[in-house]
């Protein structure tokens, strides 16, 4: 597949990423996500509405937006990658193929659930667990790989913003693995084989089921990656202190997280650990705090996306890095919104499942955006010089990962050349070189440190 081979509105993916049409599609998906998230979270409150013709129609509409919208976004991103001149995309071609296959499998699961709801007025509940396992399993792998890259970049250039995002990615991977256990225990262990309009909605307490640790890890990892991502975003946006004054800056960046954390911690017992309320009065009592959690969390997520959108605006219009930063911004907003959804109520129809099935595919946007930025900067010496000369804080992330990627590629090429020469030497002389791979890496790392120290002394 190449750029010329694309047809229709994605024939020019670089323009499409920056177009109002693409933004409108993103906005429609985000609105559908928030509706699905809200009803799925309050599936016991919305039980009567959900089984009504209007509720089922809304579920089908959200499902259609899920399938068409994410297909369009991911295909556009993949077309952008193919048009890129970066040589190192071959390293993640396998990942791209896995994501594509997974995407079609998840769409098939969603379609199967919708058809069962329409035709049989019931669906196999195990499909929720299967879909969640596949989607979150993909997210765990991709964010784990992203964490490895971030921490590898941090090891070479000790930038705090890189460390924050690396730890956040690692925490997301842990959360994804735990979420698989969380949903599978609840859905396969407490729900009926077939869910119908008469099945009712119940949010089981994992402590009573004998799995309190799974619920605790879920809460700790979720709050952990939110806080770490928030910290990294502040480091990206702190140049705005000079533009809008220190107090206004901290009010803007701190308010969403303060609200999210305060309400989440304050109502943790009733949301995660307490028994499900049994009457409408008790349900209504927790409606407002949970809505505030969802709204404040959404505001924080939009802040995360704006951090990378700010980076994109600081890059030249003609640079490929600008597009990768836009992909990252969209990815953060869509992924974090999807990851906030739950299917533990397993209502009829299963609101929340659309978001759950988006977690894996949308984690790919973050991976592609950041990796694409790193290798594009590594291959463009003029861009590296421009970024390094800038005094803007949001470009320090790109400076660090770009230079680190250059060093990583140098190390890889030197190691490969050393091994090739060692093989030739062994053939010619019969003497095997004594240097191990670890010793070669240590020498290269020390040379890199010495070069960086010399540059700092010269400056």
Residues contacting 410, CB < 8 A, separation 6+: 444
pLDDT band for position 263 (cuts 50, 70, 90): low
Cis link prior to 158 (omega < 30° from 0)?
Answer: no
Q: Which two tokens stand for residue 225?
A: 């990656």
**For the ranges 74-83, 192-201, 373-382, which has the lowest average pLDDT?**
373-382
Which secondary-structure segment (H or E) carries 177? helix 160-190
Neighbours of 339 (CB within 10 A): 25
Query: Do the Cβ atoms of 43 and 351 come closer than 8 Å?
Result: yes
Please name the residue that has the structure tokens 């995407």. Answer: 103
Task: Report the alpha-carbon distance of residue 66 to residue 291 in Å, rounded.
Answer: 23
Q: Find how far residue 125's CA is from the centre of its chain.
A: 26
Query: Do the Cβ atoms of 345 and 332 come closer than 8 Å?
Result: no
pLDDT digits (tens, 9 = 90+) for 270-284: 444 444 454 555 555
Q: Once rounded to an integer, what is the mean pLDDT over residues 201-212?
A: 81
pLDDT averaged over every residue in the chain: 74
pLDDT for 10 equals 36
Bridge partner list, 124: 194
Bridge partner list, 194: 124
pLDDT for 11 equals 40
pLDDT for 174 equals 96
pLDDT digits (tens, 9 = 90+) for 441-450: 555 555 555 5
Q: Is the dihedral of CA 272, 274, 276, 282 positive or negative?
A: negative
Task: Report the alpha-carbon distance of residue 254 to residue 245 in Å, rounded.
Answer: 14
pLDDT for 400 equals 54
pLDDT for 371 equals 78
Neighbours of 200 (CB within 10 A): 14
Task: Report the alpha-carbon distance of residue 437 to residue 454 in Å, rounded.
Answer: 26
pLDDT for 298 equals 73
pLDDT for 304 equals 73
Q: What does DSSP assign to residue 85?
A: -
pLDDT band for position 47 (cuts 50, 70, 90): confident
Q: Once rounded to an integer, what is the mean pLDDT over residues 397-416?
A: 52
**Between the CA of residue 395 and those of 151, 306, 400, 409, what are the distances in Å?**
18, 14, 9, 21
**Between the CA of residue 418 and those of 311, 343, 438, 444, what are the distances in Å?**
38, 53, 12, 11
Neighbours of 444 (CB within 10 A): 17
Q: Once rounded to an integer, what is the mean pLDDT over residues 28-51?
A: 89
pLDDT for 108 equals 96
Q: pLDDT exceeding 70 applies to what percent of the chain?
A: 60
Cis link prior to 349 (omega < 30° from 0)?
Answer: yes
Tell me which residue of 379, 336, 401 sits closest to 150, measured CA to CA. Answer: 401
Q: What does DSSP assign to residue 194?
A: E
Q: Once rounded to an integer, what is the mean pLDDT over residues 231-252?
A: 66
pLDDT for 412 equals 55
- DSSP one-letter string for 423-456: HHHHHHHSPPP---HHHHHHHHHHHHHHHHHHHH
| pTM greater than 0.85 | no
- DSSP one-letter string for 122-154: -EETHHHHHHHHHHHHHHHHHHHHHHHHHHHHH
Task: Report the alpha-carbon distance of residue 265 to residue 390 in Å, rounded.
Answer: 40
3-class DSSP assignment, residue 395: helix
Q: Which two tokens stand for residue 439?
A: 């010793």
pLDDT digits (tens, 9 = 90+) for 352-383: 999 999 999 999 998 888 777 766 655 544 44
117 against 322, higher pLDDT: 117
How far apart are the two ends of the chain, measured CA to CA in Å? Answer: 46
């Amino acid at each position: 597949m190449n750029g010329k081979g694309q047809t229709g509105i994605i024939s020019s993916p670089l323009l499409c990423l920056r177009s109002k049409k693409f933004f409108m599609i993103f906005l429609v998906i985000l609105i559908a996500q928030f509706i699905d998230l809200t009803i799925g979270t309050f599936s016991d409150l919305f039980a009567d509405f959900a089984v009504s013709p209007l509720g089922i129609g809304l579920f089908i509409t959200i499902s259609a937006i899920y399938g068409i919208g994410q297909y369009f976004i991911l295909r556009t991103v993949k077309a952008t990658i193919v048009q890129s001149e970066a040589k190192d995309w071959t390293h993640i071609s396998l990942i791209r193929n896995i994501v594509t296959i997974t995407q079609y499998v998840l769409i098939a699961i969603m379609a199967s659930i919708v058809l069962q709801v329409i035709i049989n007025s019931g669906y196999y509940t195990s499909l929720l667990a299967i879909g969640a396992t596949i989607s979150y399993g993909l997210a765990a792998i991709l964010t784990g790989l992203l964490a490895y890259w971030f921490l590898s970049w941090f090891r070479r250039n000790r930038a705090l913003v890189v460390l924050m995002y690396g730890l956040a990615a690692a925490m997301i991977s842990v959360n994804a693995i735990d979420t698989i256990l969380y949903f599978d225990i609840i859905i396969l262990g407490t729900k009926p084989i077939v869910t119908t309009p008469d099945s009712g909605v119940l949010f089981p307490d994992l402590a009573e089921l004998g799995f309190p640790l799974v619920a605790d890890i879920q809460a700790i990892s979720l709050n952990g990656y939110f806080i770490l991502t928030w910290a990294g975003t502040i480091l990206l946006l702190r140049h705005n202190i000079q533009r809008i004054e220190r107090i206004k800056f901290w009010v803007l960046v701190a308010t969403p997280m303060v609200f999210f954390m305060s309400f989440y911690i304050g109502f943790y017992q009733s949301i995660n650990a307490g028994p499900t309320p049994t009457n409408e009065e008790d349900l209504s009592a927790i409606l407002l705090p949970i809505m505030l959690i969802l709204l404040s969390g959404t505001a924080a997520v939009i802040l995360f996306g704006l951090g990378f959108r700010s980076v994109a605006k600081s890059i030249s219009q003609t640079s490929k890095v600008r597009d990768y930063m836009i992909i990252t911004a969209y990815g953060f907003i869509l992924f974090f919104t999807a990851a906030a959804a739950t299917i533990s109520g397993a209502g009829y129809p299963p609101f929340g499942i659309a978001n759950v099935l988006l977690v894996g595919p949308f984690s790919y946007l973050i991976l592609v955006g950041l990796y694409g930025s790193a290798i594009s900067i590594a291959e463009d010496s003029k861009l590296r010089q421009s970024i390094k000369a800038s005094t803007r804080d949001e470009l320090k992330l790109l400076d660090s990962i770009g230079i680190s990627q250059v060093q990583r590629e140098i190390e890889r090429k030197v190691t490969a050349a050393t091994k090739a020469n060692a093989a030739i030497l062994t053939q010619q002389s019969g003497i095997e070189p004594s240097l191990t791979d670890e010793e070669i890496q240590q020498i290269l790392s020390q040379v890199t440190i010495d070069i960086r120290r010399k540059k700092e002394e010269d400056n």
